[in-house]
Every structure is written in structure tokens, then in C-alpha cells.
Chains A and B, each alone.
Chain A
């Protein structure tokens, strides 16, 4: 079956530090890959996505590249801010077909950024 493994947290960084959160996946076929962010007391928000190999998703300074050869989708940001403190989830979808949007999530990585 499909599965996502991501770096366990928590991760604590100083402001302006470089961030990497590792994510690897197991799936049949050609999944779409996502990073979601969950701020305290809020629902999940899509941060970025990539739908095919070598695609790079980017948003708000965050980036991730779909690497089929290594089955990875690592999240990176060059300079984190205190406002980036949240829980980050890597997820995959086995593919969009009529009516199917089932996501498989990793366990999440809690990021805390200190001033």
C-alpha cells in the first residue's frame, strides 16, 4: 500500500536558519506529492505540491522537488521566520481520477523557530 515517511521532530531552529524536512514515499503508479502545514488551532493548509517527476513545488519561500529515482519530496526553506512555526505534513495522492482525492499523510514534523 501507499505510505509516507517523514523526519521526526520536533525541529528547533533560530530565525534565518536553513530548513530541511525529509520525506520519502512508497506508492504504486505515479502519485502526486504535497506538503501541508497546520498552525495551532487551525486546519491543514496546502503549502505546495508537485504532480510529476522533477516538478518543483514552491510557495512562501518553501520548495520541494519530486524525485522519483529516490522516491523523495524534501521540504526546504532558505531562511525561516518565527511565523513558520507549525506542524508540517508530507502527503501523497495515488492520483486524481473521477471522485478520488484520498491523501496518505506522514506523521508530521513540528517546527519551532526562535528569535
Chain B
């Protein structure tokens, strides 16, 4: 059973460009979240998708947008890239459930470098 898979693993872009990162959740999971992890920092919540809608959003500008597809996979889009957007972008998935014994599974991330 594959876990959370992200692509690509590494990406280099220049300032002002746009980028799309992709995530396939763990089998059976229907909720996908995205996190930004700057070097030496903890991950910061960007947003969460469930039933193809953005359900929660962290403190990130509108340049960050996303999408969830009917098969639960997700994309993260960042427009007008800034140097400060260089980070490891993590995708996490979970089976949406009111029980507290569910846990988030994280992918290995996409390392984005903006030059």
C-alpha cells in the first residue's frame, strides 16, 4: 500500500514564475492538507481540502491556491514566486472521521528552490 506520494521531489524556479506541486493521498484517505516547511523551521499549515473544496486556510497569501480532484489527489499552485517561497512543501492525508484515533500521513515533500 503506497503512502502519500508527492511529485516532483525537487524543483527549481525563478522569481515571478508559477509552480504546480502534486500529491496523491494514501489509499482510503479523502482529506488532503498542504504545509510549507522553511529551512530550520517547523511546517506551517497552508490549507486543507475535503470533498474538492478548501475547508481551512492558514495565513498564506492568495498567491497560494489549490485543488482537489474527484480521486482525492490534490495540487498546490503558487503564482508570482518569491525568493521566500523556497521551502519543502509537504502534503498530508487522512480519512476524515470524527474519531480521534485517525492520524495524518505525510509525504516526503517537494523541495522548491526559487532563484
Contact = CB atoms under 8 A, between A and B. Distances in A.
A18 interface: no
Interface residues of B, number: 30
B97 to A, nearest CB: 8
B56 interface: yes
Interface stretch (A63-71, A74-82, A104-112): A104-112
Given A103-B45, A105-B44, A96 B100 contact: yes
Interface centre among B42, B58, B96, B102 (most CB of A within 10 A): B42
A41 B108 CA distance: 7
A49 B104 CA distance: 12
Given A91-B42, A101-B31, 10 more contacts: A43-B109, A44-B90, A46-B103, A89-B42, A89-B43, A101-B92, A103-B104, A105-B42, A105-B43, A105-B44
Interface of B: 4, 31, 33, 35, 40-45, 48, 50, 55-56, 58, 90, 92, 94, 96, 98-100, 102-109
